């Protein structure tokens, strides 16, 4: 299946999901990192990062352009006049770019949310540029408060630089939650979960993320020295997060590998409901996030515990809604329904050609 066909498919599926769900769809845009993934798409090796994001940038232009081929009131559905669609309000896209040539139009009205919510998780320099330009929900590995504040500020200012309202870009670090009715119960859970890991070689796990064979590195070597400004072709965001943990907690390679094995690179909030809510509130008030992607520490059970023990505490503090604030996912995220073509005015990413105007 050609890359064009995939762009059309994604657009179709995203739109269908948004129509079927009454506006609850989101799309996690991933550029993928592994050769094994690229080999599913007719490639031998994964593209290098810059190319991945250049392709993704044009891919998004095609997908947004196709979602915009119908004006919001193109669907008439008038039983008296038997007019279903106003053809003057459905337009071809005629996109011709470096990677894609797509005529359009779509065979579906514009999605209820205008566009499904766009999520993304790349945190490298190019990943941040791409996020600032296209994304409304950024899932990011930020294990340390100071690093999370810096990432938050950076993303918001990049969004402003491309002409967006920074409130329209929600930064949501992943957070691993271990909560118990009391601190003691939470600690017991923590110890039990750790005891269940039993990784033969935590270093092996770390090696794959760092794209470096750590078997030759003494396990008591200081991790921050081993990771200093490590550039990888894979997930730079995770590697930067590991360097932050290594620096903040002064860990050896063995200790960092063990930390990675039970919490990956995410923030970790453990304790009683009040203690977990305190940590969440502290990050929120410190402008380190707009919210969190809650990672289950075990399944089933940990998500229910979060909802039953921590959410009521956050509601008491006015930090979480008591009632639904609307019908669509955008309503819940505090995002407005974007105008048709509102993305076109955004300043181009450093390496990409200017956006094409939406045909009237
Ligand atoms: C927290 C997080 C979650 C991710 N989730 C997915 C995923 O669900 N599917 C996927 O293909 N890639 C996923 N990725 C990979 C990213 O989408 C991205 O391709 C990769 O991290 C490269 O980004 P970089 O620009 O930071 O190097 C994830 C990455 C991170 C950091």
pLDDT exceeds cutoff 50 at 1: no
* Contact (Cβ atoms closer than 8 angstroms) between residue 216 and residue 201: no
* pLDDT-wise least confident of 2-16, 205-219, 255-269, 324-338: 2-16
Residues 6+ apart with CB under 8 A from 308: none
Enter the pTM of the model. 0.90
- Measured over the CA atoms of residue 127, residue 132, residue 137 and residue 143, the dihedral's sign is positive
Instruction: Parse the chain into domains and list their residue ranges.
Output: 3-173+327-346, 174-316
Pairwise CA distance, residues 111 & 12, whole Å: 10
pLDDT at residue number 258: 86
Residue 340 main-chain phi, psi, to 5 deg: -60, 130
Of 287, 280, 285, the closest CA to residue 153 belongs to: 287
CATH superfamily membership of 3-173+327-346: Luciferase-like domain (3.20.20.30)
* Contact (Cβ atoms closer than 8 angstroms) between residue 157 and residue 182: no
pLDDT-derived band of residue 32, with 50, 70 and 90 as boundaries?
confident
pLDDT at residue number 201: 75
Share the mean pLDDT of the chain.
90
CB of residue 11 inside a 6 A radius of ligand 1: no
Pairwise CA distance, residues 142 & 232, whole Å: 18
CB of residue 236 inside a 6 A radius of ligand 1: yes
**Percent of all residues in the chain with a pLDDT value above 70, rounded to a whole number:** 92
Residue with CA nearest ligand 1 atom 18:
122
Residue with CA nearest ligand 1 atom 13:
30
CB of residue 127 inside a 6 A radius of ligand 1: yes
DSSP 252: B
DSSP reduced 3-state for 267: strand
Q: pLDDT (tens digit, 9 = 90+) per residue, 105-132? A: 999 999 999 999 999 998 999 999 999 9
- The token pair that represents 178 in the structure block: 């271990």
Pairwise CA distance, residues 197 & 215, whole Å: 20
**Spacing, Cα 82 to ligand 1 middle (Å):** 48
Pairwise CA distance, residues 33 & 46, whole Å: 7
């Amino acid at each position: 299946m050609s890359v064009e066909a995939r762009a059309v498919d994604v657009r179709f599926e995203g739109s269908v999901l948004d129509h079927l769900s009454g506006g609850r769809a989101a799309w996690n845009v991933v550029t993928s990192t592994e050769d094994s993934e690229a080999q599913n798409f007719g490639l031998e090796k994964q593209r290098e990062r810059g190319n991945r994001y250049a392709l993704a940038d044009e891919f998004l232009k095609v997908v947004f352009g196709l979602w915009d081929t119908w004006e919001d009131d193109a669907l008439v559905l008038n039983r008296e006049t038997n007019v279903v669609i106003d053809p003057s309000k459905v337009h071809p896209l005629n996109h011709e770019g470096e990677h894609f040539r797509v005529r359009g139009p779509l065979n579906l009205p514009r999605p209820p949310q205008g566009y499904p919510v766009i999520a993304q998780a790349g945190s490298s320099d190019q990943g941040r540029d791409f996020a600032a330009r296209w994304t409304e929900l950024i899932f990011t590995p930020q294990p340390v408060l100071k690093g999370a504040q810096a990432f938050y500020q950076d993303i918001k200012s990049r969004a402003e630089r491309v002409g967006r309202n920074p409130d329209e870009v929600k930064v949501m670090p992943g957070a691993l939650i271990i909560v118990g009715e009391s601190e003691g119960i939470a600690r017991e859970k923590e110890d039990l979960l750790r005891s269940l890991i039993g990784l033969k070689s935590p270093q092996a796990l770390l090696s794959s993320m760092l794209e470096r064979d750590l078997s030759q590195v003494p396990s008591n070597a200081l991790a921050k020295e081993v990771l200093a400004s490590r550039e990888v072709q894979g997930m730079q965001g995770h590697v930067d997060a590991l360097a932050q943990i290594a620096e903040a907690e002064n860990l050896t390679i063995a200790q960092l590998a063990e930390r990675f094995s039970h919490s990956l690179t995410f923030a970790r909030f453990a304790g009683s409901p009040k203690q977990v809510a305190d940590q969440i509130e502290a990050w929120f008030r410190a402008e380190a996030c707009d919210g969190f992607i809650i990672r289950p520490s075990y399944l089933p059970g940990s998500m229910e515990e979060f909802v039953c023990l921590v959410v009521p505490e956050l509601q008491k503090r006015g930090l979480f809604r008591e009632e639904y604030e609307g019908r669509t996912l955008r309503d819940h995220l505090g995002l407005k329904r974007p105008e048709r073509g509102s993305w076109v005015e955004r300043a181009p990413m450093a390496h990409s050609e200017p956006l094409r105007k939406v045909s009237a």
